[in-house]
Amino acid sequence: MTQPADLLLPLATAAAAGLIGSIAVMRRMTLASDALSHIALPGIGIAILLRLNPIVGGLVALLLGTVLVWALEHKTRIPTEAIVGVVFSAALAVGGMLTSGEDLIEALFGAPGRPSRPELLLGLAAAALVIAFAIVAESRLVITLVSPDLARTAGIDVSRLNLLFLLAFAATVALGLRFLGVLLMGSLVIIPASTAKHLARSLHAMRWISVAIAMLSTAVGALVARALHRDAGPIVITIASLIFFASLWTRRGDD
């Protein structure tokens, strides 16, 4: 049975996803961020093999993968897209090798079941941290996405900020692993933010539309899933996608 308290972590996760997603989409990281989320898979596979908590395995893989992507981007002049593409394919291959059958499906689309109390508390704390980062660092992130050179002359440590952003992104994906799974969590970061980008004409609007759509899809999706006795993940993302397609019919003032 779903209780209102069970929605607490998914909604906090959705708020984090909406905020991080709006920056990721403005940074033109749409494909990269979707791929980045798959890095969790080998971690989940290894954790299942070792009989550890798969979410923790996923989180560790995400954080390591993120630092790897950042370091490659920082040390080489290879474009991020290419790095993420390679790391993503490798992660998917290794993850597929380690995980199989039912476990793989659960890792990809989310597992039913309630998080343990420590997992819930840790999740809420991580969501709060990501949300706080997105709000506090927003100005720096916005200047950096317009031009890293402008950011540098404004005294922003661009390299450190990029690492923090990628880590916040990784944490956001890890938050959604149980509820949505590896494949669908990337979508909760990207789809509401892409919808917001189509509708919004200012930063303020972008941020809040993205958060609102992510939270609305999550809440409605969870309720529909309960009524239909289905897993919530695919329903949440279907709703978010329907809102995206509906938004395409809405014309912006200047078009």
Side-chain-facing half-sphere of 29: CA atoms under 13 Å = 23
203 belongs to the binding site for another protein (CB under 8 A): yes
Interface pick for another protein out of 150, 242, 246, 248 (rule CB under 8 A) = 150
191 belongs to the binding site for another protein (CB under 8 A): no
DSSP at 113: S
Nearer to another protein, 81 or 149 (CB): 149
From the list 216, 205, 223, the residue with the least C-alpha distance to 242 is 216
The tokens for 83 are: 């790095």
Nearer to another protein, 101 or 155 (CB): 155
Q: What's the rounded Cα separation, in Å, for the pair 214 and 132?
A: 17
115 belongs to the binding site for another protein (CB under 8 A): no
Q: CA dist 75 to 49, 116, 151, 166, Å?
A: 33, 40, 20, 16
Nearer to another protein, 47 or 213 (CB): 213
Neighbouring C-beta atoms of residue 28, cutoff 10 Å = 11
Residues 188 and 218: beta-carbon distance below 8 Å: yes
Interface pick for another protein out of 68, 128, 146, 246 (rule CB under 8 A) = 146
CB of 64 to another protein, least distance (A): 27
Interface pick for another protein out of 86, 122, 124, 142 (rule CB under 8 A) = 142
Give the interface segment with another protein, choosing from 82-90, 101-109, 112-120, 190-198 (CB under 8 A). 190-198
The residues binding another protein (CB under 8 A) are 26, 28, 138-140, 142-143, 146-150, 152-156, 196-198, 200-206, 254
